[in-house]
């Protein structure tokens, strides 16, 4: 008869000393780790989601009691102490495949549902819009729906580290923008926060869905593998403000909406929704990559995307063609070169460049051996 598996030994940092334990128990008794009011929304839907094949984390089980009660465990390293940050979106496990998904609660009005389902139905290599698994009716509020999507990670977490990372990001986001505009859909809320990535190639053993820098059990820090040489896919999300125009109709809209500070936004004066997307994507590139010394190749493109006068900006298709022209001038050997922050001091640069050269040598050695 096989010996029973031994319980996993907890790291020392997850165990509290006597004085810290007293403080922890006091804070727990005072409700510091209680479910927030908006988390209760998800707890009340736990069984409904489970019946549909989606399992929420232990924290959201009906009648949940903290796992650290009557132990000397530090709640900070107990997975069920971790609260949601964005209450509108819940992580879950799809039971049939054991894959992580994200479930968004949304109001079933406007065009968000139709646009999301349309994008999910189109098989096109240019389609960089998040796929929708299904949309469930909310069991307690007929105005709401529960949109089930793949779990994705912020596009800039971890940081971009090489020139090639930037090139790939621009490739996919511009291609995705052309795809949306070709189908007469303007996103209207393009921002870094609304571009996510499938980071599974960077975290083959996973990470916690809320505490992104930790292992799934929240016990240890976790590090990402480099993006270089791995297939990282980027996706536009959140079509809550998007507009779908009929062919040949005007693309003029009103509304000071979206995260980007676009010059022409107005609640009273109509503006072109597609040109707002162009400016907003230019803002993403500017905010994410202007801080590096060796991304100057992007400047001509960003300048044409961020022009104050909308009619002077490129269209999405023109922007992609301009980027393809610029991209062709970048030597492939530069793709693996690290991004150099403008704030980096000279001594830091010497050290970091030395390490980069060493890694480049290893790369070429591997190419010779293989």
Q: What is the pTM of this model?
A: 0.91
Strand, helix or coil for residue 90: strand
CB-CB neighbours of 126 under 10 Å: 16
Per-position DSSP letters for 98-113, written without gaps between them: TEEEEEEEEES-TTHH
The predicted structure's pLDDT at residue 315: 98
> In this structure, are strands 271-272 and 54-55 parallel, antiparallel, or unpaired?
unpaired
Residue 167 tokens read as 């090139």
Q: 10-residue block means of pLDDT along the chain (370 residues)?
A: 54 95 97 97 98 98 98 98 97 98 96 97 97 98 98 98 98 98 98 98 98 97 96 98 97 97 98 98 98 97 98 98 98 94 72 52 51
The predicted structure's pLDDT at residue 206: 97
Q: Please, which residues bridge with residue 103 across strands?
A: 90, 148
Per-position DSSP letters for 237-277, written without gaps between them: ---TT-EEPPTTS--EE----SSS--TT--SSS-EEHHHHH
Q: For residue 138, which of 110, 104, 100 has the smallest C-alpha distance?
A: 104
Please answer whether residues 148 and 214 qualify as being in contact, where contact means their C-beta atoms are separated by less than 8 angstroms: no
* C-alpha span between 58 and 146 (Å, rounded): 20
What value does the CA radius of gyration of the chain take, rounded to a whole number of Å?
24
Distances (CA, A) of 207 to 77, 156, 309: 14, 16, 43
* Cα dihedral sign, 342-346-347-350: positive
304-340 exposure pattern, b = at least 16 Cβ within 10 A, e = fewer: bbbbeebeebbebeebbebbeebeeeeeeeeebbbbb
The predicted structure's pLDDT at residue 9: 76
The predicted structure's pLDDT at residue 189: 98
């Amino acid at each position: 008869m096989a010996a029973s598996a031994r319980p996993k030994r907890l790291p020392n940092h997850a165990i509290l000393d006597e004085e810290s334990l007293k403080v922890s128990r006091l804070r727990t008794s005072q409700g510091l780790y209680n479910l927030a009011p908006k988390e209760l929304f998800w707890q009340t839907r736990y069984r409904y989601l489970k019946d549909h094949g989606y399992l929420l984390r232990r924290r959201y089980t009906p009648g949940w009691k903290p796992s650290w009660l009557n132990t000397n465990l530090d709640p900070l390293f107990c997975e069920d102490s971790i609260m949601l940050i964005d209450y509108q979106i819940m992580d879950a496990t799809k039971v049939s495949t054991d894959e992580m998904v994200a479930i968004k609660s949304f109001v079933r009005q406007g065009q968000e549902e139709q646009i999301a389902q349309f994008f999910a139905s189109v098989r096109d290599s240019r389609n960089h819009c998040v796929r929708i698994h299904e949309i469930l009716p909310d069991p307690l509020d007929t105005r709401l729906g529960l949109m089930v999507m793949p779990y994705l990670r912020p596009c800039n977490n971890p940081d971009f580290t090489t020139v090639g990372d930037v090139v790939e990001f621009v490739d996919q986001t511009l291609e995705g923008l052309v795809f949306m505009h070709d189908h007469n859909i303007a996103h209207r809320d393009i921002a870094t926060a609304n571009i996510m990535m499938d980071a599974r190639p960077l975290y083959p053993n996973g990470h916690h869905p809320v505490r992104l820098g930790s292992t799934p059990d929240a016990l240890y820090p976790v590090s990402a593998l480099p993006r270089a040489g791995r297939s990282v896919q980027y996706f536009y999300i959140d079509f809550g403000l998007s507009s779908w125009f009929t062919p040949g109709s005007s693309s003029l809209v009103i509304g000071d909406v979206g995260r980007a500070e676009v010059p022409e936004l107005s609640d009273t004066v109509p503006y072109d929704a597609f040109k707002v997307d162009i400016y907003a994507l230019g803002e993403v590139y500017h905010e994410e990559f202007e801080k590096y010394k060796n991304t100057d190749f992007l400047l001509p493109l960003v300048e044409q995307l961020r022009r104050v006068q909308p009619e002077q900006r490129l269209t999405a298709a023109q922007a992609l063609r301009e980027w393809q022209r610029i991209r062709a001038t970048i030597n492939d050997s530069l793709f693996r070169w690290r991004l150099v922050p403008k704030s980096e001091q000279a001594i830091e640069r010497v050290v970091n460049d030395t390490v980069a050269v060493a890694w480049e040598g290893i790369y070429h050695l591997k190419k010779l051996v293989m």
